[in-house]
Amino acid sequence: MRFSITFSALLALATTSHSAFATQFQNLDLRQGGDVNSFLQGLRDNNLTALATVLQAHPTVTDRIFAENTEKLFLAPTNEAISKLPTWVTNNSSRLEATLLQHVLRGNFDAANLNAYPLHTIGHSLLNESAYSKLPGGAGQAVALAKSGNKTFVSEAVNNDTFVQSPVRFDTVTVQPISMAMTVPGTITETLRFMGYSEISTLIANVQNGALASTIDNMAGVTLFVPTNEAIRKYVGTFPNPTAIPTVLGQHIVASRVVYSPLLIDQGSMISSSGQDIVFDNAAGTVKVGNFTAKILQTDIIAQQGVIHQIDNVLASTALDVGRATQAQKSAEESIDDEAAQSFTGPVSGKNSITSQGTDVPAAQPGSGANNRSANDNSDTAGSGQTESAIGNGTNGNNGGASQAGSNNGSGVINGLNGNGSGIDHRQPNAAVSSKSGMGLVAAAVLASSLLAIAF
């Protein structure tokens, strides 16, 4: 059945196999501009020969690494990990270089002090080319790190790329071998399909023949709370008024902000693209809009334009306030400092994130329980070492982390396996041009209602 509805507000809305490593790398004197040959030889001497060979063939990457004398963490794929990179990466020089740059994070990251899964410690990589990363301010693509029990890992959508051996330093570059290579994340809609979120994918794709999907994929900065397939089927089974569906979908979108899991704690509540307060409860591991509450099942699914969090229920509020949505987006956009975003270092926290509520965030709605403080009042408690959260399956951060990190529990977490046996995240490439001009799409859509069709 097809419905024609008024779109009143924007919907812009491992396995751990590895070769043996020498106990210590040589002490190498890397100067700004790069003693690249010594660096590559050090990798070879410690059995990271495949990585060294790839880097030698792509000097653009090493030039970027040593262009500035700042601290960096190189998540270095082992020989076996390099061998498992898909051909659509290795046969495309631009994409291969982008993949390598995503493995290099700016700043210091202490493995002993990473957030406990299912929360993550988030860093920004050197990958800020517009074809592969579309974050606000031109920031480098994000990478999620976490610890669970005695394991430390990179957390991709379906893979946990485990740290192997101890990190070693080359001057300002810390090299941390990992069991699998990351691949560049796809767009929001590609990631939804890849994760098997078919219900939300279909709903978005059928809005005006894909116009909504295109809008989301061309936004610079979006946070999306995605209900499970079962939750959406249950909601649709209540036969909601079709004219209310855009508003309901809008409750799941935060426009022009990228709210990673540490920021759920550090930056107070959020305002949806339907203009309602989204309130996060750390003790319960939930988000709430009006009278509707959902448990967060999985955090920090990284996409080209931002981040996805999976939830277990539809936030089915039909309340709409276009003015609040517009003000919240404008405030968030004005918080972005391009220079700071492109030179971001260290773990993301409430004090230093590339986006925030800004300083003109609308006041909290009466009775919502929100704390819509201005950006200069942000806390900084969860940027590193956060363990206490009820997100996920467990009753607290530690139990939740242990239960999710070690099994496929139906929330989209599959360790070391993605269905094709390669252990590699195979989202297909999608080029998009990043610019601040695309960030006004949300406010424009809020103000100008469109007639859209949704098919169930």
2-11+186-455 and 36-178 have identical folds: yes
Q: Would you say 400 and 261 are in contact if contact means Cβ atoms under 8 Å apart?
A: no
Question: Rounded distance, CA 11 to CA 248, Å?
Answer: 9
Is residue 137 scored above 50 in pLDDT? yes
Reduced to 3 states (helix: H, G, I; strand: E, B; else coil), residue 90 is helix
- Which 8-state DSSP code applies to residue 203? H
Chain segment 47-94, per-residue pLDDT in tens:
899 999 999 999 999 999 999 889 999 999 999 999 999 999 999 999
Question: Rounded distance, CA 108 to CA 394, Å?
Answer: 30
- Categorize the per-residue pLDDT at 425 as very low, low, confident or very high, splitting at 50, 70 and 90: very low
Is residue 446 scored above 60 in pLDDT? no
Long-range (24+ apart) CB contacts under 8 A made by 287-296 are 287/225, 287/311, 287/315, 288/315, 288/369, 289/251, 289/315, 289/317, 290/315, 290/317, 290/319, 290/368, 291/317, 292/251, 292/316, 292/317, 294/225, 294/227, 294/231, 296/225, 296/391, 296/392
Is residue 195 scored above 90 in pLDDT? yes
Question: Rounded distance, CA 269 to CA 52, Å?
Answer: 45
Reduced to 3 states (helix: H, G, I; strand: E, B; else coil), residue 27 is coil
Buried b (16+ CB within 10 A) or exposed e, 96-131: bbbbbbbbbbbbbbebeebbbbbbbbbbbbbbbbeb
Sheet holding 168-170, edge to edge: 104-106, 72-77, 173-178, 168-170
Full-model pTM: 0.83
Q: Are strands 277-281 and 104-106 parallel, antiparallel or unpaired?
A: unpaired
Chain segment 357-407, per-residue pLDDT in tens:
899 999 989 888 887 766 656 666 655 567 678 998 543 333 333 333 333
Residue the block writes with tokens 């089915």? 316
Q: CB within 8 A of 367, min separation 6: which ones? A: none
Question: Rounded distance, CA 309 to CA 299, Å?
Answer: 5
- Categorize the per-residue pLDDT at 242 as very low, low, confident or very high, splitting at 50, 70 and 90: confident
Quote the pLDDT of residue 374: 63
Residues of the chain above pLDDT 90, percent: 56
CA–CA distances in Å: residue 199 to residues 228, 231, 307, 416: 8, 9, 18, 25
Determine phi and psi for 180, rounding to 5 degrees: -140, 150
The amino acid present at 254, given as its one-letter code, is V
Quote the pLDDT of residue 55: 97
Fold entry, domain 2-11+186-455: FAS1 domain (2.30.180)
- Helices 93-102 & 49-57 angle (0-180, nearest 10): 130
Question: Rounded distance, CA 22 to CA 357, Å?
Answer: 47
Sheet holding 286-289, edge to edge: 253-255, 222-227, 306-311, 292-303, 286-289, 277-281, 270-271
Question: Rounded distance, CA 47 to CA 41, Å?
Answer: 10
Rg, C-alpha atoms of the chain: 21
Q: Are strands 151-155 and 142-148 parallel, antiparallel or unpaired?
A: antiparallel
The mean per-residue pLDDT over the stretch 137-154 comes to 95
Quote the pLDDT of residue 421: 31
Reduced to 3 states (helix: H, G, I; strand: E, B; else coil), residue 205 is helix
Quote the pLDDT of residue 194: 93
Q: CB within 8 A of 172, min separation 6: which ones? A: 30, 69, 70, 71, 72
Annotate 217-281 with three-state secondary structure. HCCCCEEEEEECHHHHHHHHCCCCCHHHHHHHHHCCEEECCCCCHHHHHHCCCEECCCCCEEEEE
Strand partners, 253: 224
CATH for the 36-178 domain, from 3.40.50.2000, 3.90.550.10, 3.40.50.300, 2.30.180.10: 2.30.180.10
Question: Rounded distance, CA 44 to CA 40, Å?
Answer: 6
Strand partners, 176: 75
Q: What tokens appear for 392 in the block? A: 């996920």
Determine phi and psi for 398, rounding to 5 degrees: -70, -45
Chain segment 281-324, per-residue pLDDT in tens:
988 999 999 999 999 999 999 999 999 999 999 999 999 999 99
* Average pLDDT for the chain: 79
Give alpha helix (H) positions in 58-133. Answer: 59-65, 79-83, 87-90, 93-102
The mean per-residue pLDDT over the stretch 117-126 comes to 95
Residue ranges of the domains in the chain? Answer: 2-11+186-455, 36-178
Quote the pLDDT of residue 320: 95
